[in-house]
Amino acid sequence: MKLGAFSISLAVKDLKLSKHFYEGLGFKVFAGSEAHKYLIMKNDSTLIGLFEGMFDKNILTFNPDWDHEANQLDDFQDVRELQNQIKNKGLKIESEVSTGETGPGSFLVVDPDGNPILIDQHV
């Protein structure tokens, strides 16, 4: 199973304040927009997402179609295939991607401690 690029998506209360804090830790804005209330920040190969008002909890995020530079991969496991593999291992899918489609999609699983894990494909 190849889950792809990993990042943590942080539910923040004040995007500007969080941006300033993470800049102090050496992160730089990599993508996103303050106007759209989210920023993707990078420190070396570590990615974090700051999301103001978009969700209640921090989310572990995997992007099967990206490398750690957010470059599109030519060869990757489709999100639907990953969903089927996870289901076949007996894990509960909280929010499913439609199995009949191709292209972008995502699904969500929650670990035993309540941590949401998003598998999010962009193409």
Burial of 92 by CB count in 10 Å (0-12 exposed, 13-18 middle, 19+ buried)? Answer: exposed
- Give pLDDT tens digits along the chain (123 positions): 899 999 999 999 999 999 999 999 999 998 999 999 999 999 998 999 999 999 999 999 999 999 888 889 999 999 999 999 999 999 999 999 987 778 899 999 999 989 999 999 988
* Residue-range domains of the chain with CATH: 5-121 (3.10.180.10)
Residue 72 vs residues 9, 31, 53: alpha-carbon distances, Å: 19, 15, 28
